[in-house]
Structure 1
Amino acid sequence: MQIPLIDLTAQYSNLEVKILAAIKKVLRSGQYINGTEVKQLEENIKEVTGSKYAVPVANGTDALVLALDACGIGQGDEVITSPYTFFATAEAIARVGAKPVFVDVKVDTFNISPELIEEKITKNTKAIIPVHLFGQPAEMDAIIELGKKHRLKIIEDACQALGASYKGNPVGSIGDIGCFSFFPTKNLGCYGDGGVVVTNNKEIAEKIRLLAAHGSKVKYFNEIVGYNSRLDEIQAAILNVKISHLFDWNEKRRILASIYDRELLKTNVTTPKTVEGVKHVYHLYVVTCSNVNEIKQHLEQKGISTGVYYPSPLHLQRAFLYLGYKVGYLPVSEKLATHTLALPLFPELDNNQQNYVIERLKEVCTI
């Protein structure tokens, strides 16, 4: 049996007729940028996130860059974030000229430790970017409180967590700005790159919309130097077809995760902890184990794909050596980088496939 980590073709097969019809509609319209599909997607995202404003952009990385830029964050400023995440989180901070400041994560949730943040706040700190990693919301109450206390912007990196919620509040709508990615492997993915920025602040929304379109409100008249970061009509049309299935897909992910949780209890892998009061959407199902390489090799020999997220924490990446971090500075993130493994999980994973993964895993992990 061959089981992928993520199966994008299965999802497409289920929606092929509707997706092709949506694409053909756009092609026949002759309107490929900033048309009715993008406007409809804005409304759909506002509904899902509970936000007043949504600005579709070219990708999740741009969403973060635009959010920082719209907040006036740049040269000489500092932004606190997690070192255990995809590179784009800190890349966006550096791209606007600011300095990433890394705070270690919790070993059981993989999310930033709020209790370690305050000691890293300086007069140059302008924002905190909590990451809702693997689909689980960060501990936002404490982070929001720090933001209020020190007058910091809270920009949620929710690129892996569309549809997740924290104490009943959809992620992305909790801080000042929320950033999402529509990369194909995300819980809601398009067939290329895509992203969106959400906020309840009208001024910020208008600034992001301006920045994303070359700093222009009226064609050929540019108020500021901006970017070219627009989501095209075809990708928006695809997302509009898929978004009505998002909550059902996320619920299926939770069901599959609960099966893994139950069946892996008597193994030497530690299943991901779900914080009380949050709704996890399991973009990835990541276990912690001491013999990652052995497990990975065994599963691959049995036709099961796995993934390592992420093999190097950001503070040790070559691109950030100038920040001066050394091995041992952020021990939890460094340990997780070599002790975690993502197992196959996607809404179309059937019982036979999941049982096969579990049985093969138990062959090397049973206590």
Structure 2
Amino acid sequence: MPLANIPFANPHAAYAARKEAILEAITRALDSGYYILGSEVEQFEKDFAAYLGIAHTSACANGTDAIELMLRALGVGPGKAVFTVSHTAVATVSAIERAGAMPVLVDIDPVHYTMCPASLEQAVQHLVRTLPQVTPAAVLPVHIYGHPCNMDALAEIAARHNMRLLEDCAQAHGAQYKGKMVGTLGKAASFSFYPTKNLGALGDAGGVATSTATLHNEVCALRQYGWKERYISAIPGINSRMDPVQAAILGVQLTHLAEDTAARIRIAGVYTSGLAGTGLCLPQVAPWAKHAFHLYVVQCKERSAFMQYMQEHGIGTAIHYPVPVHLQPAYAGRVLCAPKGLPVTEQIMHTIVSLPMFPQLTDAQVERVCTTIQAWAKAGA
């Protein structure tokens, strides 16, 4: 009898484990008769802010909108540049352009795959020299795969060039930098609550975190047509409202986020121990970081053959991300990049591969992933 497949990700597993509580929360939201924003959303905003240890979170429809709303609330639009990475979901760059700003893409460090401070500095200086009509306005690092960026180094560069330091935390719920939650380290932070995220809804949802009340209020206005009083648009806004059903679901999931993060870290530890000596380049964790392990990403020189082997043995894998933003058809040749290019980004695109990672993986499944990779390594020795 063939072994059951081990999926790369499985948001249904979290639903199945918490089905009774989730259905109760959904029923409560539906019975309330209030289906846009309302008390369920307000409660989740309060609870998530308390979890982060920050004053405010503003719920919205998805993580892409969260970035756009955050930038627009800060006045980062036409004539202003936002520095981010190319090794990210395209949503990061898409949202910058939707806000009317100019994305400038910088390279990543080869160990943790997060924004490289040296590449950022070079990109800022190059922009100032070559496009003096564009103002460097914001730095938007991505805590990729759940590993925090080197925020002190990025903060120093941002301050020196009078730029706002922001955070893209779409993959990093529960991660910490020097003991502080990501999402609390800059002027504002964006979150995605897509179903596969560490804190996931059962549909699209997102949010913005900030310690500044005026910024929070601006985001709340922008997400609903720019209303600061009902039906009166004080500023041009959009429609990006979290619905109460998703907020109720997220409220349940939030109560399990700490244990889910601990499970991810434990699974990552088993992988790191079990995969030593297999020839894979394994994730490294900086001494100042608590890695939330949204993804467990390795590098493999024979990636295609490795992924095929895993598939044949019933184990799912994925690539995050196969094509950097600056090489995608929609952006290639028109988006600005750091002056020395993005060599690390372009190198790892050929070798990175994500192993199964979700809190409900059983010990037997994790062990099977390890033994399968060990067998692959032995066969290729």
Which category describes the TM-score, using the shorter chain as reference length? over 0.9
CA distance in 2 between partners of 1:49 and 1:179 (Å): 12
2:343 aligned to which of 331, 334, 339: 331
Query: CA–CA distance in 1 between the matches of 2:170 and 2:315?
Result: 26
The alignment partner of 1:335 has SS state of helix
Q: Equivalent pairs: percent with the same residue?
A: 38
| TM-score, scaled relative to structure 2 | 0.94
Alignment of 1:291 onto 2:302: yes
Tell me the residue number matched to 1:14. Answer: 17
Calculate the aligned-residue CA RMSD, in Å.
Answer: 1.3
1:315 matched residue in structure 2: 326
**For residues 319 and 185 of structure 1, what CA distance do their matches in structure 2 show?**
25
Give the Cα separation in 2 of the matches to 1:211 and 1:325.
30
CA distance in 2, matches of 1:355, 1:89: 35
Counterpart Cα distance in 2 of 1:136 and 1:302 = 29
Offset, 1:218: 1.7
Runs of 4+ aligned residues of structure 1 deviating over 4 Å after TM superposition are none
Kindly indicate whether the alpha-carbon contact (under 8 Å) linking 2:194 and 2:204 is maintained by their aligned counterparts in 1: yes
Check the 8 A contact 2:105/2:336 in 1, yes or no. no
For these two proteins, the number of residue pairs brought into alignment is: 366
Deviations 1:267-293 (A, max 9, x none): 110111111111111001000110110
Task: Tell me, yes or no, if the aligned pair for 2:117 and 2:154 is still in contact at 8 Å.
Answer: yes
- Is 1:134 the counterpart of 2:145? The answer is yes
Instruction: Kindly indicate whether the alpha-carbon contact (under 8 Å) linking 1:129 and 1:156 is maintained by their aligned counterparts in 2.
Output: yes
Match of 1:47 among 45, 50, 66: 50
What do residues 316-353 of structure 1 show as CA deviations (whole Å, max 9, x unaligned)?
A: 11111223669x93111111111010000111111111
Label 1:169 to 1:324 Cα distance change in 2 as closer, same or farther (>3 A).
closer
Are 2:113 and 1:110 aligned? Answer: yes
Provide the C-alpha distance between the structure 1 equivalents of 2:42 and 2:336, rounded to a whole number of angstroms: 44
Partner Cα separation in structure 1 for residue 142 and residue 19 of structure 2: 32
Aligned to 1:37: 40
Q: Measure the CA separation in 2 of the matches of 1:324 and 1:162.
A: 29
What is the alpha-carbon distance in structure 2 between the residues aligned to residue 126 and residue 43 of structure 1? 29
Q: Which amino acid aligns with 1:348?
A: Q
Q: Is 1:3 the equivalent of 2:6?
A: yes
Unpaired segments ≥5 residues, structure 2? none
Structure 2 partner of 1:347: 359
Residue 361 of structure 1 aligns with which residue? 373
Normalised TM-score (structure 1): 0.97
Looking at structure 2, the residues matched to 99 and 225 of structure 1 have their Cα atoms a distance apart, in angstroms, of: 20
Q: CA deviation at 1:146?
A: 1.4
Q: Distance in 2 between matches of 1:204 and 1:365?
A: 52
